[in-house]
Amino acid sequence: MNTNSKTSLFLMELIIVILFFSISAVVCVQLFVNAYSTNESTKKIAQGSVIVQNLAEQFLGCDGDPDAVRDLYGSGSAVRRDDSEAVISLGYDKAWNEVSADASPVYVASISIADENGDPYVGDNAPEAGSMEVATVEVYEIATGTCIASQEVKYHVPYRLEAGR
């Protein structure tokens, strides 16, 4: 009877140890899954922020001209210009490579241009000299509709000297 008691005590101890390791393994797996999803989210935000910053710099470098920004990407690029508003859109696939709008992009970067009052420039309505252009640069994930990164850029349209003076 003494041997049977020691055996059952050993088995009980072994079951408790296995249960402890099982619970520990579940916790570790959850930590790895959370770390992976956080890493993916952080990579998405970082890449979106880089694209937003690049588009904002291109907008400022082109003196606030949306057509000049569009021309930077060439004729076969992913750029789309909405003529009802001054909006430029770029499509990106899952690996953040530029794709055309026909290729069903995963992410979309856009530049919306308005005046200082928030009224969008419609058609060929150009900003007046001495006014302020406000461009909102955003990157969205299409599937969820969430904004990954955004930035507002202001550009002062300078006065130009007339040719006759």
Residue 165 — pLDDT band, cuts 50, 70, 90? very low
Percent of the chain at pLDDT exceeding 70: 82
70-117 tens-digit pLDDT: 888 765 455 555 555 667 888 899 999 988 767 788 999 988 888 888
Q: Where along the chain do its domains lie?
A: 2-156
How far is Cα 147 from Cα 5, in angstroms, rounded to an integer? 64
Quote the pLDDT of residue 43.
94
Q: Do residues 66 and 60 make contact, with C-beta atoms less than 8 angstroms apart?
A: no
**Separation of alpha carbons 64 and 110, rounded Å:** 14
Spell out the alpha helix ranges (H) of the chain: 2-61, 66-71
Are the beta carbons of 130 and 160 closer than 8 angstroms? no
